[in-house]
A and B are shown apart, each in its own frame.
Chain A
Amino acid sequence: SQQGEEDPQALSIQEGENATMNCSYKTSINNLQWYRQNSGRGLVHLILIRSNEREKHSGRLRVTLDTSKKSSSLLITASRAADTASYFCATDPYTGGFKTIFGAGTRLFVKA
């Protein structure tokens, strides 16, 4: 029962531009996280935002969360070629346990 949906599926931009990725989910959550994956390697945690937070920053990353719309966005500012990767949102629903639901991801390509 996938609940994270991301758009766009793929995004191609020039170095220096901003990249925005969106994630929608279906059920109430405790937290929402964003991860990055380079070419089939293990995922790396970027940022976590709690359900009672609306916005969070970390370096060039800005994450927003709108629980009324069940959606989140990840903004990468001043993108670099090294930001080329796939980005996934992950939610842990209120069902308890350690359930985690990932979206299908956005593939970002940053052209130098």
Chain B
Amino acid sequence: EAQVTQNPRYLITVTGKKLTVTCSQNMNHEYMSWYRQDPGLGLRQIYYSMNVEVTDKGDVPEGYKVSRKEKRNFPLILESPSPNQTSLYFCASSERQGGEQYFGPGTRLTVT
């Protein structure tokens, strides 16, 4: 089954404790992206990747890092999480630039 998976689905952590949210897709897509969703703001793009080792900033990259060492994986790293990074995070992948995006189920992160 074609899918995008994210782990963990729920995470409560404390300020400053490094964490990684994993994202994996099994569709051999070149394009992958991370978004955060906050009430009333829709989805905002954090980072995206157009291929292995090719990443670029979205609209809200501050406080986040990404890497793309393999085509299927695109982890999101929060080196020093802060409460303003409490949000619902989505990973997505696409076969082509500007094409339909397939979304993961989301990761709900709470930073206290």
Contacts and interface: CB of A to CB of B under 8 A. Distances in A.
Q: Do A and B come from one complex?
A: yes
B48 to A, nearest CB: 4
A31 B41 CA distance: 21
Contacts, number: 74
A102 B90 contact: no
Interface stretch (B12-20, B76-84, B100-108): B100-108
For chain B, give the interface size range: 20 to 34
Interface in A23-50: 30-31, 33, 35, 40-45, 48
B40 to A, nearest CB: 6
Interface residues of A, number: 26
Contacts of B56: 97-98
A61 B22 CA distance: 34
Nearest to A92: B98
A102 B48 contact: no
Contact of B33 (A1, A2, A100, A105): A100
B46 to A, nearest CB: 11
Interface string A97-110: 11111111100000
B65 interface: no
B103 A2 contact: no
A42 B105 contact: yes
7 contacts: A1-B59, A42-B90, A48-B100, A98-B31, A98-B48, A98-B97, A99-B59
